[in-house]
Amino acid sequence: MTYMYPDARGHFGKFGGVFVAETLMQPLAELRAAYEHYRSDPAFQEEFAEDLRLFVGRPSPLYPAKRLTEAFGGARIYLKREDLNHTGAHKINNTVGQALLAQRMGKKRVIAETGAGQHGVATATVAARLGMECVVYMGEEDMKRQAINVYRMKLLGATVVPVTSGSKTLKDALNEAMRDWVTNIDNTFYIIGTVAGPHPYPAMVRDFQAIIGGEVRYQIMEFEGRLPDALVACVGGGSNAMGLFYRFLDDPQVALYGVEAGGEGLATGKHAAPLTAGRVGVLHGNRTYLMETDDGQIIETHSVSAGLDYPGVGPEHAWLKDSGRANYVAVTDDEALEAFHVLTRIEGIMPALESSHAIAYAKKLAPQLGRDKVIVINLSGRGDKDVHTIATREGIQF
C-alpha cells in the first residue's frame, strides 16, 4: 500500500496523536511497542486468523441484495454480512485481536467502555473465553435503555459498572474506563471499541477490523469480476467503516461514503454528526472533529441508534474527510428507521439501527450511480437488540 498513515507519532495529518495525562504515556508506549511487535509476528497473526475463522465464523458472506437493488432502482447492492458474526456485529473482530494482545502482554484483567452494549458484550465474550477478569463501564442511562445487553455481559462473567458522571452515556463511560486504566495500569488492558482514543488505538482497531474490506476485495470478484464503485458504512466512532474502507484507500476509483447519525436533522442541533456539522478539537486522547460548544465543552448528542451516539469520531475519518478521499454524509433517525423496515421486509434481514443509516444513504446513492454500478454496504450488526427501541417509538407495548 502507498497509503501510510498514521505517522510514527500517531498522526493522520493534523488529526490523531496522543493527548492523555502523563501517567498514561508510559503504558501507551508499552502498548505501542507490543502491538508493533505482534502485528508482524506470524504466530500472532495466525492465531488471530484462526480465532476469526473458528470462533467468530469468518469470512462473513457478501450477499447480493437483489430485491433491495430493485427497490432502490439503481446500482447493484451487496451487503457485507458482519451481522452474522458471533455476538452479532463487527465489534468481535477487534475484541478478539486486542484480547490476544492482552494475553501476550501478560494482562489478566480487561476493561472496556460500551454505549449500546455491543462492544461490552464482545469484550465480555472474549474475556470469558480466555479466562480474564472483565469490567465494563456503561452510562447509567444506557444501562436502562439496554438492559438485555447488561444481563448478557453479566452472564458472561463481566462486572458492569454504571457511570453516573456527566451525561451518563458512552463518552462518560470512556472517561471512566480511562480513570480505571490509570489506576490499574500494571495488570489491566483497556480494550477500546472503536478507532478513537490515543495512538496506537485508532490504527490498531482499524487493523483488526481491516479483514472486513479485505474479504470484500476478493468476494466481489466472484460476482462482478471487478472492484465496487462505492462503499457505504455508518460512522459513530467509525470502526466498521474504517474496517471496510482501509483496504480500498489506494483504489481511487472506489468512492467511500461514511454515514453519520443526523438524529432529528442537522438543523435542529439534535444529532451525532461531528464530521458533517462539528468542529476540530481534542477529546479522549486524540484531535478530531467533535460536537462541542463555542467554548470547547463537549455537548450531548442525539441518535435513535445508541452505537452512533458519540460526540467524537476516529481521527482517521477526520483525515479522510479533509483529504477528500472519503465523503461524509448524515441521514436522520426517520430515514434510518424506514431503511430498517425496508430491509427487514424485502430481504428478510433485520439490520441494527446503526447499519440502517448506511442502508438509508444507499437508497439515495443507488439511483444517482445508475444500474451499471456496484455498491457494497457494510451491514455492521444485526437488529435484534433494537427491536425494543423500534417498538417503543412506534407506540407498541409488550
Residue 181 and residue 188 in contact, taking contact as beta carbons nearer than 8 Å:
yes
Q: How far is the first Cα of the chain from the last one, in angstroms, to the nearest whole number? A: 52
Residue 24 and residue 84 in contact, taking contact as beta carbons nearer than 8 Å:
no
- Complex with other proteins: residue 316 or 333, whichever CB lies closer: 316
- Complex with other proteins: residue 27 or 214, whichever CB lies closer: 27
Quote the least distance from Cβ 167 to other proteins, whole Å: 8
**Whether 91 is catalytic:** yes
Residue 245 CB coordination number (10 Å): 27
Q: Is 217 helix (H, G, I), strand (E, B) or coil?
A: helix
Detail the DSSP E strand segments found in the chain: 11-12, 15-19, 62-64, 76-81, 109-114, 133-139, 159-163, 188-190, 230-234, 255-261, 279-283, 285-290, 326-331, 374-379
- Complex with other proteins: residue 158 or 291, whichever CB lies closer: 291
**Whether 113 is catalytic:** yes
- Complex with other proteins: residue 19 or 55, whichever CB lies closer: 19
Quote the least distance from Cβ 346 to other proteins, whole Å: 42
Quote the least distance from Cβ 283 to other proteins, whole Å: 6
Block residue for cell numbers 457511570: 163
- Complex with other proteins: residue 177 or 358, whichever CB lies closer: 177
Quote the least distance from Cβ 276 to other proteins, whole Å: 19
Residue closest to 300 by CA, chosen among 289, 288, 291, 313: 291
Quote the least distance from Cβ 109 to other proteins, whole Å: 14
- Tell me which of 82, 113, 316, 354 is the catalytic residue: 113
- Tell me which of 60, 80, 82, 91 is the catalytic residue: 91
- Tell me which of 60, 303, 356, 380 is the catalytic residue: 380
Q: What is the 3-state secondary structure (H, E, C) of 97-113?
A: HHHHHHHHCCCCEEEEE
Grid cell, residue 153, equals 455481559
Enumerate binding residues for other proteins (CB under 8 A): 9, 17-27, 165-166, 171-172, 175, 178-179, 182-186, 279-285, 290, 292-299
Where does 106-189 have alpha helices with state H?
118-130, 140-145, 147-155, 170-183
Quote the least distance from Cβ 272 to other proteins, whole Å: 15
Quote the least distance from Cβ 23 to other proteins, whole Å: 4
**Whether 356 is catalytic:** no
Residue closest to 381 by CA, chosen among 35, 8, 63, 82: 82
- Complex with other proteins: residue 260 or 292, whichever CB lies closer: 292
- Complex with other proteins: residue 80 or 284, whichever CB lies closer: 284
Residue closest to 173 by CA, chosen among 124, 139, 135, 123: 139
Residue 333 and residue 265 in contact, taking contact as beta carbons nearer than 8 Å:
no
The total number of residues shown for the chain amounts to: 398
- Active-site residue set: 91, 113, 380
